[in-house]
Amino acid sequence: MATVKYSVPNISCNHCVHTIQSELSELAGVQAVQADKDSRVVTITFDQPATEETIKRLLAEINYPAVD
Chain residues that interact with Cu ion, rule: CB under 5 A: 12-13, 15-16
Q: Which is nearer to Cu ion, 13 or 67 (CB)?
A: 13
Closer to Cu ion at the Cβ: 21 or 54? Answer: 21
CB of 17 to Cu ion, least distance (A): 7
Q: Quick one: 35 or 50, whose CB is closer to Cu ion?
A: 35
Output b/e per residue, 9-46; b: 16+ Cβ within 10 A: eebeeeebbebbeebbeebeebeebebeeeebebebeb
